[in-house]
Amino acid sequence: MMKARHWLLITMLYLCQAGATEPPMPFSSWYLGFVAPDYMDVWLETADVTDVRGATFMGAMQGTVSIWQPENGKGDPTRELGPYILGAGVSLSLELPQRLFVRWQSLVEPQTYRATVEIPDSARELMRKRERVNCPITGWADEYRDSLAVMLAPGGVVKVWVSGSCFPATPVAHVQAEVEPLGPYGGKSGGRYRPLEPAAKAYIEKYGVPYGSW
């Protein structure tokens, strides 16, 4: 009985200390969005998010991501994806992110990648900081950076920004993914990938994949 109480006290102390190391976020939810460079079609198999309290949301985001295609149809995968980056995504009621695991299909190659991204303390500090900013639509206001934007690019490049509807995006992480040895869909599709969109197919046939541009 005494031993059980001892471990209970240790566990409670650990949880209190873990909670004390990270202040609570100042908003009820934050946005996780995904983008890909011009014409570089991506199918996101899963995005699993672990917050600063240790809670993990498996499959927080799946499916297609936003593609940054200019209206003139020329495309330029080397250009900046901003200044305001959000992308297709989801609002999460978790605490601020500690870690992000992503597995996706880069359809233009085709290749399947996976990566674990550690979100730095500086990113969360930026998200907690309320600042006076000139919003594009509503004008001056006191706002937070309440979004995390993730770019998935050919070659397994992953870039992460802290962003928001009123703030220019700030880069916070950049990692190189590894190839998923099981291939697409965990090996359940016989190596078959989703088809490219016609615009992406035409672009790749004409220009190829500009590896090293991101």
Tens-binned pLDDT, residue by residue, of the chain (214 aa): 434 344 334 334 444 444 446 678 899 999 999 999 889 999 999 999 999 999 999 999 999 898 765 444 444 443 444 445 667 889 999 999 999 999 999 999 999 999 999 999 999 999 999 999 888 788 898 999 999 999 999 999 999 999 888 888 899 999 999 999 999 999 999 999 999 999 999 999 999 999 988 8
Q: What is the distance of C-alpha 88 from the center of its chain? A: 10
Q: Which of 182, 212, 169 is nearest to 81 (CA)?
A: 169
Q: For the purposes of burial, counting CB atoms within 10 Å of the CB of 175, is it exposed (0-12), middle (13-18) or buried (19 or more)? A: middle
CA distance 56 to 65: 21
pTM exceeds 0.85 for this model: no
Q: H/E element holding 204?
A: helix 198-207
Tokens linked to 20: 């004390």
